[in-house]
A and B are shown apart, each in its own frame.
Chain A
Amino acid sequence: MGRSYIVEDDVEGYLSKLCSQLAGPVTGLLIGQSTVQRDFVVMTTRTPQNDESADGGKSVDKEWVSEHARQVSRMLPGGLSVLGVFIISESDAKDTLTTLRQLVFSVENLISSERLWTPADDDVTDCVTLHVNPKTRKTVCRTFDVKDPKSVAKPADWKYQSGVCSSWTTVSCCLSVDLMVPLPENMAFTRNMDDCLKEELKVWAQQIERGVCLIDGKKLPEDSELKAGQKKNVRQTISAQLLITPDVQTAADVVQRCGGCVSVRGAIHSRAFLHSNKPKAKLAEKLLKRDIVSTVATRVQMLLEEPQKQNEENKGRKQTEQSCLPRRVFCPVKSTGPLSVCDYQFSDEGLSEMTDRFKEMLDMDAAEEDLDATREIIAEVIESEATEEEEPAEENEMLDPWRNNYIGVAMATAVALLALAASIVYLSDV
């Protein structure tokens, strides 16, 4: 009994368009949710053009497709993931299947190499492949088990349906993050920081996975269903809470030498989607926790991938640098319906850069007004140069990261009013 994919109607239209438009093989990604009970595909996106490719994009470039998948995977909130790959090509079915198999394994390997959360036993490990013949419009759907390197293609059903994007329950929360990790004494500045941070993130990820998840203020038994899933076509959102306890430190030496430290402090907005048909509390908890871990790990990764300023050797002076992690911005998948994708905005980027990226990565035509940038605020950061080791009045935690635009405006207004009041007093003083 093979898998059965229920696919949003729009996907059919999109694939048709690609068939008629382009020459040469076209690849892309299939995005949705696969659980033990059901498989849903909610959207697709073609692989972007590779301007630097040797043959002008005539052949399928496995690395390019995988890299695209990796970046798209970062743009999917909890519950949504890259389920597989499609290819539109007139080639022989057998050759195409081999290509698809290679792509699907490569994509899965690259995406899972970035993951910090541990896969669960009840995760679905089947990935879907779709072969569309542009002339005959015939579609062939097969799945591969990516856990098994020797797996063979299994037939699967591919059914179009309307409204696949509408009946989803959203679980979300806003979570504080507070990590502090020491840097080793002898440092190659950037490289060691990367490793230390990644190790600490792994520990933090386990803390999150162990955390107690509350839905509507209660800890629900694992098999219970979320009540919100009952009504059809009504936007269902559930807020969750997470209670954590710190890891117990077992190091013998409580005080250790270090070459400095890295901290990540702030908060993030986390979101996960479950299909509304009998959504289980256990699944909601699993998907939300994974999103929490992914969103923080992705942002740290993105920051570390930014070109680093070359710092001179530390001459015994204290050097402090602060960088903002990018903030999360959401974009709805369809104008109605709860599903959204997301991207990350650095402080020096504008919303137009977001819409460009949604177009490039996900082939989505979004306008700036459609974007939801209200969930997270970018904190302002003070650029500090290397300081002498004076007697500090307070520790470096005193740098205030919480100022935001609103306070700035309020201050300016207050000053203006004071000035006005002062001038009135002055003028009326006879």
Chain B
Amino acid sequence: MVLADSESAVILRLRGPLDLKCQLDRIDEVPMQKAISRTFEALRLQVKSESCVLAVCNSPVLIWPNKSVFEEITPDAPFEDIFQFIQTDDQETSGKKSTKKKNRKGVSASIINLSLMMEATKPGPASAPILTRTVQKSHLLCATLPMDCAVWSNGSDTIKDGCERLMKALTRQLFEMEKVTLQCMKGTTLRVPEPLHFLLPEPNGLVTVVFPRGVPDKELEAQRRELHGQFELPDNRPFFRRANAYHFPNEPYKDGYLRNPHTVLTHPTLDNGKVYLVQGIYSYHHYMQDRMDDNGWGCAYRSLQTICSWFQQQGYVERGVPSHKEIQQALVEVGDKQVSFVGSRQWIGSIEVQAVLNHLLGVTSKIMFVSQGSELASKGRELANHFMTEGTPVMIGGGVLAHTILGVAWSETTGEIRYLILDPHYTGAEDLQVITEKGWCGWKGPDFWDQTAYYNLCLPQRPRVI
């Protein structure tokens, strides 16, 4: 699926539940598979029928795609027109503002959400209902399929074309769901097939994959390997773990942490210089969060939390970000600290960060040592390489402070260097504007470091797995 490149790219997302219900007279494998296939076939007919309705969320627009009935809009109008009808919370009901969201880079990430519904009414006369009762020891299959299709559309595509593509995607998804259901069937245990969207690098773009719900990532490696082959992706980094699923622009994270605050910054331009940044998504952890008052002593812990959040959100680990206590407990368990360490307000350094990453996450890290801060200016090549090959956030500790380095801007010819710093000493609220304007996340020069103190850097290594 090609990523639409134009300014007016729109994601059309169709979601809705479909009932998967059938009586299973026999639970031997073959008859059960046949019964399930028949039920899926009935569902495919249902979505091709005239009772299938697409409702644009938060708007009066309704579309019957299989009988070309369009309410409030005309089929040949461009899909962009639908934005006029959508009402968001912060909009007067009579306003006709566009709900496009643009980020700083100018690429629109507009999304139109549609709901899948079925029309229960039909032209009369009605054939009065029949009650059928079957008495037989059997089984009943009863599940809800969480249909979720997303297609990229050029904003100037007609509504009719966009709907056709959505409906094709819907039918294809039912086929894939049938395949996954039958593949993962063991006796009478069935897994509900669940679609997930992944944003792959060009030229693949947004891709939807159906996985069996409840099966952990580690049992799905074979499927992921096949997908990596199919989309010609490198086999040393994950693209299809559940944590890698695409986060749609209109779905805010519910845990309250800021994600990637550095993306709103303007990056420095150096003569012959390039910018090397952390790859992927991390959360900003800092003083005073989680009702933990660690002001003055917790900076390295927070930097470690930011690093752990990166590994979780890239799908390398399933465990959540550890608390201060859990970090301290881990150090006791590896024999690095005494039991009395737990609950204390003692600082940790990059060696401890390395140990915890290894013990709790199974992640190895390289340690880089500089005897004085002024030497950091010469580490441009190493840091640039790190961000290119590993792309993980770096914890740096020295003097009396710890920070997180998210990237470097470095010129090979002039040697000029800047560091993108995420500062864990911030004590305020999750206000992106304050954090970026006041420099809590910002680009710093070589004079940011204490020129005479020594520093240790912990550079976490990305596991070579999918």
B106 to chain A, nearest CB (A): 36
The answer to whether the Cβ of B190 comes within 8 Å of any Cβ in the partner chain is yes
Number of B residues contacting the other chain (C-beta, 8 Å)? 55
The answer to whether the Cβ of A333 comes within 8 Å of any Cβ in the partner chain is no
Contact status A262-B125, CB under 8 Å: no
Residues of A within 8 Å of B17, CB to CB, are 245-248
- Considering the chains assembled together, what is the distance between the CA atoms of A208 and B130 in angstroms? 19
Closest residue on chain A to residue B137 by CB atoms: A259
B392 to chain A, nearest CB (A): 37
Closest residue on chain A to residue B53 by CB atoms: A243
A235 to chain B, nearest CB (A): 17
- With contacts A244-B118, A259-B135, A259-B137 known, is A323 near B130, CB below 8 A? yes
Residues of B within 8 Å of A377, CB to CB, are 125-128
The answer to whether the Cβ of A269 comes within 8 Å of any Cβ in the partner chain is yes
- Considering the chains assembled together, what is the distance between the CA atoms of A392 and B133 in angstroms? 17
Residues of A within 8 Å of B126, CB to CB, are 174-175, 266-269, 375-377
The answer to whether the Cβ of B182 comes within 8 Å of any Cβ in the partner chain is no
- Considering the chains assembled together, what is the distance between the CA atoms of A257 and B24 in angstroms? 9
Closest residue on chain A to residue B42 by CB atoms: A397
Contact status B121-A378, CB under 8 Å: no
- A242-278 CB mask vs B (1 if < 8 Å, else 0) is 1111111101001111111111111111000000000
Closest residue on chain A to residue B118 by CB atoms: A244
Contact status B120-A243, CB under 8 Å: yes
The answer to whether the Cβ of A51 comes within 8 Å of any Cβ in the partner chain is no
Residues of B within 8 Å of A243, CB to CB, are 53, 55, 62, 117-120
Q: List B residues 1-54 near A (Cβ within 8 Å).
A: 16-19, 21, 23-25, 27, 35, 38, 51, 53
B174 to chain A, nearest CB (A): 15
- A323-357 CB mask vs B (1 if < 8 Å, else 0) is 11111100000000000000000000000000000
Closest residue on chain A to residue B187 by CB atoms: A255
- With contacts A176-B122, A214-B62, A269-B125 known, is A264 near B136, CB below 8 A? no
Residues of A within 8 Å of B25, CB to CB, are 318, 389, 392, 395
Contact status A267-B134, CB under 8 Å: no
- Considering the chains assembled together, what is the distance between the CA atoms of A401 and B139 in angstroms? 24
- With contacts A260-B133, A321-B133, A322-B131 known, is A255 near B125, CB below 8 A? no
Contact status B128-A319, CB under 8 Å: no
Residues of A within 8 Å of B38, CB to CB, are 395
Contact status A265-B132, CB under 8 Å: yes
Contact status A324-B138, CB under 8 Å: no
SS class, residues of chain B in contact with chain A: strand
Q: List A residues 392-414 near B (Cβ within 8 Å).
A: 392, 395-396, 399, 401-402, 404
Closest residue on chain B to residue A182 by CB atoms: B140
Q: State which of B115, B124, B144, B191 has its C-beta within 8 Å of the C-beta of A246.
A: B144
Contact status A266-B136, CB under 8 Å: no
The answer to whether the Cβ of A37 comes within 8 Å of any Cβ in the partner chain is no
Contact status A401-B127, CB under 8 Å: yes
Residues of B within 8 Å of A249, CB to CB, are 19, 142-144
Residues of B within 8 Å of A381, CB to CB, are 130
Which stretch, A101-109, A146-154, A183-191, touches the partner chain B? A183-191
Residues of A within 8 Å of B35, CB to CB, are 395
- B92-132 CB mask vs A (1 if < 8 Å, else 0) is 00000000000000000000000111111111111111111
Q: List A residues 293-329 near B (Cβ within 8 Å).
A: 296, 299-300, 303, 311, 314, 316-328
Contact status A269-B119, CB under 8 Å: no
The answer to whether the Cβ of B141 comes within 8 Å of any Cβ in the partner chain is yes
- Considering the chains assembled together, what is the distance between the CA atoms of A303 and B190 in angstroms? 36
Q: State which of A246, A324, A392 has its C-beta within 8 Å of the C-beta of B19.
A: A246
Q: State which of A185, A257, A262, A378 has its C-beta within 8 Å of the C-beta of B133.
A: A262
Residues of A within 8 Å of B116, CB to CB, are 245
Closest residue on chain B to residue A394 by CB atoms: B38
- Considering the chains assembled together, what is the distance between the CA atoms of A254 and B24 in angstroms? 12
Contact status B130-A266, CB under 8 Å: yes
A269 to chain B, nearest CB (A): 5
Closest residue on chain A to residue B128 by CB atoms: A327
Contact status B129-A266, CB under 8 Å: yes
Closest residue on chain A to residue B21 by CB atoms: A180
Residues of B within 8 Å of A395, CB to CB, are 23, 25, 35, 38
Contact status A267-B138, CB under 8 Å: no
- Considering the chains assembled together, what is the distance between the CA atoms of A246 and B129 in angstroms? 19
The answer to whether the Cβ of B447 comes within 8 Å of any Cβ in the partner chain is no
- Considering the chains assembled together, what is the distance between the CA atoms of A251 and B420 in angstroms? 48
The answer to whether the Cβ of B189 comes within 8 Å of any Cβ in the partner chain is yes
Residues of A within 8 Å of B189, CB to CB, are 254-255
Contact status B21-A402, CB under 8 Å: no
- Considering the chains assembled together, what is the distance between the CA atoms of A183 and B133 in angstroms? 9
Q: State which of A182, A319, A401 has its C-beta within 8 Å of the C-beta of B130.
A: A401
Closest residue on chain B to residue A344 by CB atoms: B128
Instruction: Pick 8 A–B contacts, CB within 8 A, sort by A.
Output: A244-B120, A245-B16, A245-B115, A245-B116, A251-B142, A319-B134, A321-B133, A389-B25
| Besides A324-B130, A401-B130, 11 other A-B contacts (C-beta < 8 A) | A177-B129, A208-B120, A249-B19, A255-B140, A255-B141, A260-B135, A260-B138, A299-B128, A318-B136, A320-B132, A376-B125
Residues of A within 8 A of B (CB): 173-177, 180, 182-183, 185, 187, 189, 193, 208, 211-212, 214, 217-219, 240-249, 251, 254-269, 296, 299-300, 303, 311, 314, 316-328, 374-379, 381, 389, 392, 395-396, 399, 401-402, 404
The 4 closest A-B pairs by CB, nearest first: A266-B129, A267-B126, A174-B124, A327-B128
